Amino acid sequence: MSMGIFPLGVILAIVAVVLVFHNLYINKIYGKVKETSDSGFKKEELLTYLELPQGSNFNTFMIASWMLFFVALAFLFFQTPGTSPWYYFQVIQIASSEFGLIAFGLAVMIITALAAFNIPKVYRYYVVSRSIKALMVNFSLPLLMISIAISIYLGTIYPQADDLFWSLGYVTLVASLILLIMPIVCSLKEVAR
């Protein structure tokens, strides 16, 4: 696990690129509508007209998935030494507690709750097909759970390390992220037009 924080940078770069594409998508639609309309409406008005209901079950599932994504990210990068300069075992009182991992996971959920509740709102500006929804719902959560389980395993064998398991945890985390951003990625052809 001597890869440092480069793999974390890759995940953050993916998120940043997707945010840029989302903004390009919205701005492209706003520009096209503005060209064809004489009335001077604002972008906020357009956003309310663009909203597509995705269903309460899907929205709830996406909120839970994003919360678990942040927990999996924190567990993988900040639970054991060698990946990041800050890690869980530096806080001895929590790390040695019976409920240390739960406390760590809950702290991450509380800290990232605002992002986890707001990110899924982005989906309402995209047409998300049933097949994409099925992929997201059926595979993102199991992949996140695998990544979290691997991180817990790596925490139990500390101070030993297992690069193969860490890599598997990283791959499942990135795969779940790709599933979670799939509606935006699938709309890239709209941005290109």
Domain encompassing residue 188:
6-192
The per-residue pLDDT string of the chain (193 residues; one tens digit each, 9 = 90 and over) reads: 445 678 888 999 999 999 998 888 888 887 777 777 666 677 777 778 778 888 889 999 999 999 999 999 988 888 766 666 666 666 666 666 777 778 878 888 898 889 888 888 899 888 888 999 999 999 999 999 999 999 888 878 877 778 899 999 999 999 999 999 999 888 876 656 6
Dihedral (CA of 96, 101, 103, 109) sign: positive
pLDDT at 182: 92
CA dist 164 and 72 (Å) reads: 17
pLDDT at 135: 93
User: Total structural domains in the chain?
Assistant: 1
Q: Does any domain span residue 94?
A: yes
Q: Does any domain span residue 1?
A: no
8 A C-beta contact, residue 127 and residue 51 = no
What is the CA 164 to chain-centroid distance, rounded?
A: 23
Q: Does any domain span residue 91?
A: yes
Residues 6+ apart with CB under 8 A from 182: 132, 135, 136
pLDDT at 2: 44
pLDDT at 1: 46
Chain position carrying tokens 């790390």:
95
pLDDT at 192: 60
pTM, to two decimals: 0.85
